[in-house]
């Protein structure tokens, strides 16, 4: 049971049930859209437009518009794909793992984190698409019945399972997220005065009435979906890791990769949640829901995960040495540590394994500015991790005659920036039109985790 005295309240400000409903739905019902929203939407959609240009350029002119070459055939696109997929782990990790672990503090964050998952996975999914040399033949990856005789998918290829895992994960996360929002849609439907909104939210709420039977089924559906989705959190990034681990490339071929990638994903996902929630609680004045304590909890998780990351890095280096393979040793001791891309390597180590250790200090955990900066650094560090894995390994593989460097082109940068624009724009739409906190869940924990002084509780 959650001990308020020992751990403090989860929802501050002496909220009543009605306050929660009001606080959650008011931003959606308000007729005026705040100026910051317009500015942010403008910037992010401009980024998105640039990204669309990048897509266009790639599809019309060719993959040659990227900085790839015969030796380094995967570049920014794959880095960004893995990075986004990692970020896309936050929502499910929050909802499922913390649910399983009875962590009540997740309630004010999980909805937003799930939304983040959806947009991040969608952003991630764009990369394998645009990455294909012949995007118009992309449907070949699906095992549909065809007339091409023996040409069928290769079930040995991790890339095939990648497609399967990501599409499953996207579908499951979306359903989980959507079903969770249904009661809140109903609340908005009831509270709104606009007829159009009533109609839209009415449809979205699937006729939710809030009856006991409804709640019963809602609960069991959430539980079932949670149970089914939980393995996906592990499987998706494990399979992404297999893309590398199944390769013979020194620096890729490592059995540690699947758990290492999953942990890394949770790491970057939590960091992204932190980044986002710090901004959102500020602009929406949700400090009472997303309290200092929430941030503190995330920071503690990050400290722990960062330690795992550190161990993973060390064990990778150890195994390289232990393997006695000159190729492996070259990758880790020459190419990464002191080579052409040593900056990226050391940035990865410092940002992921060392900087988060500052969270051991309470003072630092309490300082939101520093927490914010560290959360950004972790995101950068995790990007560098993928860079180190993809680029340093590929640029110098087995035969020195084939060694070749890599640097991205404007088209690749545009596509990356475009996906950031897409993600931010998606989140903005989410904040503007969808309930960003699960009011029913908040209400569920209100009583037991808050010091409620008044007895006049208004049941909505």
Partner 1 sequence: MEKKYWQSLEVYKEMKKNTASDKEAMPEFSIDGLDESEVKGKSSRRDFLKMMGFSVGAVALVSSCQMPVRKAIPLLNRPQELIPGVPNYYASTFYDGDEYCSILVKTRESRPIKIEGNDRSPISQRGTSARVQASVLNLYDDARLKGPVKSGKQNDWKTIDKDIKAKLETLKTDDKEVILMTSTIISPTTRKLIGDFVKSYPNVKWIQYDSLPMSAMRNANEANFGKAVIPFYHFENADVMVGFNADFLGTWLMPVTFTRQFSKGRKLKDGQTKMSRLYQFETNMSLTGSNADYRYQIKPSEEAAVLLKLYNVLAKKTGNTVFGSPSVKTDVNTAARDLLKAKGKSLVVSGTNDLQIQLIVNAINNLLGNYGNTIDLSTPINLKQGQESEMMQAMSSIQSGKAGGILFYNVNPVYDCVHKDNLVKALKKLPLKVSFAATMDETAQLCDYVCPDNNYLESWNDAEPVQGFYSFAQPTIRPIFDTRQFQDSLLSWLGAEQSFTDYLEKNWEKSLFPKQKDFTSFNKFWFKCKQDGVYSFAAKDGPQPSYKGVRLKAGKPMENTLELALYEKISMGTGKYANNPWLQEMPDPVTTATWDNYVTISPAFAKMQGLEQEDVVKINGKLVLPVLIQPGQAEGTIGIAIGYGRNHAGKVGDGVGKSVYGLMNVTNGTKNLLGTVVAMKKTSNTYPLALTQTHHVMEGRPIVRETVLGSFIKNPAAGNEEHEKFLKSEDFSLYPEPKFEAFQWGLSIDLNSCTGCSNCLISCQAENNVAVVGKDQVKRGRIMHWLRMDRYYSEMDDNPEVFHMPVMCQQCDNAPCENVCPVAATTHSDEGLNQMAYNRCIGTRYCMNNCPYKVRRFNWYEYVNNNSFDYNMNSELGKLVLNPDVTVRQRGVVEKCTFCVQRIQEKKLEAKADNRELRDGEILTACQQSCPADAIQFGNLLDKKSAVSKSNDTGRMYHLLESLHTLPSTSYLTKVRNKEA
329-332: which pairs have CB atoms within 8 A and are 24 or more residues apart?
Answer: 330/250, 330/396, 331/250, 331/251, 331/392, 331/393, 331/396, 332/251
Minimum Å distance from CB 143 to partner 1? 10
61's CB contacts (< 8 A; 6+ apart) are: none
Minimum Å distance from CB 393 to partner 1? 9
CB nearer to partner 1: pick between 137 and 454: 137
Helix axes 292-323, 257-283, angle to 10 degrees: 160
Give CA separation, 408 vs 71, 74, 317, in Å. 14, 11, 27
Minimum Å distance from CB 348 to partner 1? 20
CB nearer to partner 1: pick between 215 and 327: 327
CB nearer to partner 1: pick between 231 and 326: 326
Minimum Å distance from CB 125 to partner 1? 14
CA nearest 222: which of 267, 268, 172, 269?
172
d(CA 455, CA 16): 9
CB nearer to partner 1: pick between 1 and 248: 248
CB nearer to partner 1: pick between 347 and 394: 394
d(CA 450, CA 444): 11
Minimum Å distance from CB 322 to partner 1? 17
CB nearer to partner 1: pick between 136 and 459: 136
Quickly count helices (H) and strands (E) in the chain: 19, 0
| Phi, psi (rounded to 5 degrees) for 360 | -65, -25
Minimum Å distance from CB 312 to partner 1? 22
Q: What is the binding site for partner 1 (CB under 8 A)?
A: 61-64, 67-74, 128, 131-135, 137-138, 140-141, 148, 151-154, 156-160, 162-163, 243, 246-249, 326-327, 330, 394, 396-405
Q: How many CA within 13 A on the CB side of residue 14?
A: 4
């Amino acid at each position: 049971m959650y001990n308020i005295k020992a751990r403090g309240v989860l929802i501050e400000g002496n909220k009543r049930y009605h306050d929660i409903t009001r606080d959650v739905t008011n931003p959606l019902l308000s007729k005026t859209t705040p100026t910051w929203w317009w500015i942010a939407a403008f910037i992010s959609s401009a980024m998105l437009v640039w990204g669309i240009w990048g897509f266009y350029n790639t599809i019309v002119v060719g993959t040659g518009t990227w900085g790839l070459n015969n030796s380094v055939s995967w570049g920014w696109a794959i880095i960004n794909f893995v990075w986004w997929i990692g970020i896309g782990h936050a929502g499910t990790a929050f909802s499922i793992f913390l649910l399983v672990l009875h962590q009540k503090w997740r309630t004010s964050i999980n909805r937003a984190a799930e939304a983040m998952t959806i947009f991040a996975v969608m952003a991630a999914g764009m990369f394998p698409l645009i990455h294909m040399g012949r995007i118009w033949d992309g449907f070949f990856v699906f095992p549909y019945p065809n007339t091409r005789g023996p040409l069928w998918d290769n079930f040995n290829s991790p890339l095939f399972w990648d497609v399967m895992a990501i599409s499953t994960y996207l579908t499951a996360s979306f359903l989980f997220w959507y079903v969770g929002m249904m009661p809140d849609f109903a609340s908005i439907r009831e509270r709104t005065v606009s007829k159009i909104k009533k109609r839209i939210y009415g449809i979205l709420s699937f006729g939710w009435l809030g009856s006991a039977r409804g709640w019963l089924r809602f609960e069991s559906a959430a539980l079932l979906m949670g149970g089914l989705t939980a393995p996906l959190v592990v499987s998706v990034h494990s399979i992404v890791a297999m893309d590398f681990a199944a390769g013979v490339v020194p620096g890729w071929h490592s059995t540690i990769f699947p758990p290492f990638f999953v942990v890394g994903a949770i790491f970057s996902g939590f960091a992204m949640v932190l980044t986002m929630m710090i901004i959102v609680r500020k602009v929406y004045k949700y400090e009472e829901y997303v309290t200092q304590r929430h941030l503190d909890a995330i920071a503690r998780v990050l400290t722990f995960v960062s330690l795992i990351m550190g161990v993973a890095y060390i064990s990778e280096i150890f195994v390289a040495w232990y393997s006695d393979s000159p190729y492996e040793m070259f990758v880790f001791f020459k190419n990464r540590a002191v080579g052409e891309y040593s900056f990226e390597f050391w940035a990865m180590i410092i940002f992921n394994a060392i900087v988060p250790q500052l969270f051991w200090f309470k003072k630092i955990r309490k300082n939101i500015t520093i927490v914010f900066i560290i959360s950004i650094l972790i995101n950068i560090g995790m990007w560098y991790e993928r860079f180190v894995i993809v680029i340093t390994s590929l640029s110098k593989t087995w035969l020195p005659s084939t060694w070749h460097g890599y640097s991205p082109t404007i088209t690749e940068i545009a596509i990356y920036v475009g996906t950031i624009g897409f993600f931010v724009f998606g989140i903005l739409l989410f904040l503007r039109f969808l309930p960003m906190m699960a009011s029913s869940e908040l209400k569920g924990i209100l009583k037991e985790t808050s010091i409620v002084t008044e007895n006049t509780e208004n049941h909505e």
